[in-house]
Structure 1
């Protein structure tokens, strides 16, 4: 069986991924920081969340993620505890403990956000997640919550410039897996085109 994630992408595919998938957005203070759960690079995720908090980029956060295999704690519990230990106000971090994938992160978090903040009161969100998943976070959010403005911050533990992802086999594998999900996920209605316009 051909594992497409192990391919060496062409120069054209590398350029397309760099410009269309591994995007960066301008940042400004947002109403909500949406921290997507993870099993990898947790320290980098927490560092970025704390930096955004301290920088005044979010007045409230939600951390979403279910039980991590091999651990009795949810991704949410692990990440929130680390954020609080670094000085983020516990009461300002909403919690979602069931999600097992990006779609569930969003679907399960929306009622939590609505109950505490009111979805209509949230006009802007910063999505925080893995670099290789990149725009799929805001694309998933856009599918379920199109009205809110979305910004994107991504992190990883690879010590190379982001545009050189294809030079490290594991980084390349992760990026290609996520890149290859975009069109099928759009076709199945899991995600929506973003950015728009």
Structure 2
């Protein structure tokens, strides 16, 4: 089977990805910042979490991510410790350290959030993750927690502007790989249509 993520997208596909996948949402203060784990661009994710904290966009956060091959520390531990080092109070960071994928990030985090805050007390969530994964974060959250208002903030370390992702071979590969997951994941019930 051919790896479709190495294809050159058509103008129509680029336009569809820019309009439907690389969405930006109005940002306002939220009850919770949901930091999805990663091995890539950790510094950018932590910097953005700190910027959001400093500017009063969340009062509590959860960091979710398990141990990945080649590491002895979980994504959660690495990111949460870096957030604390930047100045976010440890008591404002909930931790989930078992998840191996985006679905597990949400499924395993919900009981942690419920125990600490009560799900009914959380009305709005900012999802923070990689640019190329984009709307799949809130779509996954929407599948398992439809009641909460979702906002999206994404980060990456590419020098290429987001709107020109298709001009950078690695950015393009990551974007197309994620874009190609949307419809199959919806069909399997992993994610729900959002917004």
Is 1:99 the counterpart of 2:99? The answer is yes
For 1:1-197, list aligned pairs within 5 A.
Answer: 1-195=1-195
Determine the C-alpha separation between the residues in 1 that align with 2:123 and 2:15: 32
**In the TM superposition, what is the alpha-carbon distance from 1:68 to its structure 2 partner?**
2.5
5+ residue gaps, structure 1: none
String of CA shifts for 1:3-53, please: whole Å, max 9, x gaps. 100000000000000000011100000000000000101000101101001
Determine the C-alpha separation between the residues in 2 that align with 1:71 and 1:105: 18
Determine the C-alpha separation between the residues in 2 that align with 1:178 and 1:27: 23
Alignment RMSD (CA, Å):
0.5
**In the TM superposition, what is the alpha-carbon distance from 1:114 to its structure 2 partner?**
0.2
5+ residue gaps, structure 2: none
What secondary structure, in the 3-state scheme, does the structure 1 residue paired with 2:180 have?
A: helix
**In the TM superposition, what is the alpha-carbon distance from 1:71 to its structure 2 partner?**
1.4
Q: TM-score, normalised by structure 2?
A: 0.99
Q: TM-score, normalised by structure 1?
A: 0.98
What secondary structure, in the 3-state scheme, does the structure 1 residue paired with 2:39 have?
A: coil
String of CA shifts for 1:45-102, please: whole Å, max 9, x gaps. 1011010011100000000000122111100000000000010000110000000000
Determine the C-alpha separation between the residues in 2 that align with 1:70 and 1:43: 19
Determine the C-alpha separation between the residues in 2 that align with 1:45 and 1:68: 17
What secondary structure, in the 3-state scheme, does the structure 2 residue paired with 1:94 have?
A: strand
String of CA shifts for 1:103-162, please: whole Å, max 9, x gaps. 000000000000000000000000000000000000000000000000000000101210
Q: How many residues align?
A: 195
Determine the C-alpha separation between the residues in 2 that align with 1:45 and 1:10: 30
